[in-house]
Amino acid sequence: MEFKKVSEGTWEIPKEGGMLVPGRVYGTEKIVERIESGAINQIKNVAYLPGIQKYSIALPDAHIGYGFPIGGVAGIDYEKGVVSPGGIGFDINCGVRLIKTNLELKEVKPKVREIIEKLFVDVPSGLGSKGQFRANKNQLNEVMQEGAKWAVKEGFGWSKDLEHMEENGRIELANREKVSEKAIQRGMPQLGSLGSGNHFLEIQLVEQLFDERVAEKFGLSKGQIVLMVHTGSRGFGHQIASDYLGVMKNAMNKYGIRVPDPQLCCAPINSKEGKDYLEAMYCAVNFAFANRQMIMHWVRDGFSKIMGRSAEEMNLELLYDVAHNIAKIEEHNVEGKRKKLLVHRKGATRAFPAGRKENPKAYAESGHPAIIPGSMGTASWIVVGTEKGLEETFGSIAHGAGRVMSRHEAMRRKKGKQVQEDLMKEGKLVKAASYATLAEEMPEAYKDVDEVVKSLEVSGIAKKIARVVPLGVVKG
């Protein structure tokens, strides 16, 4: 293993060649032993980015991505450094939200199948899934600028939902002038849809609590039923990412930037290309916030119809919404000084402890809930950030489990129908638009999410609050 142990669960890749900073990898031995050599190279390559501060960071779910490893974080000097679209990914603001209820297992279990069937119909999912709501250009223009705020104005959800979202569900720096016509055409029919791949809706049970005090602040209790939504900016974000990867590729020579991997193409944050990308990227961020807000509205609606009670009666409150493919402008301590950084989180989730101004009032004393969705059929986690995490990873943690098996290998091992039957034997109902997706997304294709979360705790960058397990899953 080419890592140097720094402390429990924390490893370093020493500087070599043109690396400006060392690599920092978080994980138990079990996790880091299995990190592919391709991902290790990517961690090293990211360290070449001009303006990178402290470390090129890899979290326990790290695996090969484009340029950046998925599960990769880089804090870049905002004044002097670069922005790299590969450090955000194609599915801009892919993220996850958790909705609470005041219900327990015995009330919901007999109705799980009905709920799943209803949500499968009400929330479009699957290949090229279109919304039941088709946005026109004016509406999309508003969505790009207003994000979830637009959705609430249109009657999707409650205005208090906005207080429980990263950025209150809207980044003001978005500028729709920087978004291509192609992205708009892909986005219009897809607003209000789940997509496919590893996106899902889940009905879950809070199985175990690890910190009763913080769980109480979050309104979580053992045996409680919760709902989870995982999706992103759909074709809209994918197109914006593609468009600007092309722009950045051409900008590299102009600014004399050299990187070891063309997928790390970048431009100075303060350049026209850099600014244009950020402004377009934030349009996709806003689209995804609006998308999750709309889907939550339909989930609340569908769940209410089956349970025969209103969303208000069942306290279907939004716990929090987090992004895990994004770049955020944040202030952090670097070598004793406060610095303005652009923190790239590629398959990584923000987890801020108490004391950060970005936290909503409700979570000022605890830090905000950071949600780590497991893969299909496995547990998900709610954790909270720590001071150590803030110091070492700019308050960033893993976003999920990370794949270990190729989709081909998964499909060779089991057919989708078999995966569905196996999960049913464990009491987990799965409804999907495609059996092929079920096979590709089988639990065995992913790292052990419990080990990923153990890695976060052992290294001290997050604290476990609750473990939730799925009862029913809707997949695209």
Partner 1 sequence: MEFVYLEHTADLLFQAFGKTKEGLIVNSGRALCNAIIDLRGVNAGEKIELEVKIEEEKFEEVLFKFLEELLFQIETREMVFSEFEVKELREGYLKIECRGEKIDSKKHEVKTNVKAITRHDFRVWFHEGKWNALVLCDI
Residues in the site for partner 1, rule: CB under 8 A?
36, 63-67, 70, 89-91, 126-128, 182, 185-186, 189, 195-197, 235, 238-239, 241-242, 245, 249, 262-263, 403-409, 433-434, 436-437, 440, 476
**What's the min distance (Å) between Cβ of 186 and partner 1?**
6
Select 182 or 275, whichever has its Cβ closest to partner 1. 182
| Whole-angstrom distance, CA of residue 368 vs CA of residue 351 | 7
Q: Give the rounded distance of the alpha carbon of 39 from its chain centre.
A: 19
Going by the DSSP 8-state scheme, the letter that residue 446 receives in this structure is B
Q: Which residue spans within 14-134 are E strands per DSSP?
A: 23-26, 52-63, 70-77, 82-83, 95-104
Contact 459, 10 (CB under 8 A): yes
Structure tokens at 186: 């892909």
**Cα angle 89, 447, 418; round to 5:** 105
Expressed in percent and rounded to 5, the helix, strand and coil fractions of the chain are 40, 25, 35
Q: Which residue has the tokens 């091992």?
A: 413
**Cα angle 322, 93, 354; round to 5:** 25
Consecutive H or E run containing 36: none
| Whole-angstrom distance, CA of residue 43 vs CA of residue 344 | 13
Q: Say whether 399 is catalytic.
A: yes
* Per annotation, catalytic residue among 230, 238, 344, 399: 399
Taking each helix axis from N to C end, the angle separating 272-307 and 234-254, rounded to the nearest 10 degrees, works out to: 170
Q: Which residues are catalytic?
A: 399
